[in-house]
Structure 1
């Protein structure tokens, strides 16, 4: 999956996307990756967020939720 393409397709639809990896959580063997999506397509300041063990795990959780909002995700 081309993560940059996914993020660009979401941005073109008005979604702001943030990926983060936390060094402290990684050292503690906790879920170091965070994915947050917010923006115009969501109502009432809703956002889609997850913490996971990998970037891929974040996408596996969040992309289906984003599609439920009617977003088109190119992967």
Structure 2
């Protein structure tokens, strides 16, 4: 939630992102080699790249660097 605030994400962006992450976690849990799909972090980055504006994505990269 702190990330959503920092990135100034709209409610629509937040719900799109949350739904995509839930689908990914379900798919990962139901796939025998779920780890092969990648990590939660890599999926989060991939989803945010599609959802965020370039300015928001730059803020995300900054947020990520400060929250590792």
**Structures share fold, TM-score greater than 0.5:** no
More relative contact order, 1 or 2 (CA 8 Å, 6+ apart) = 2
More strand by share: 1
Structure 2-normalised TM-score?
A: 0.42
Structure 1-normalised TM-score?
A: 0.39
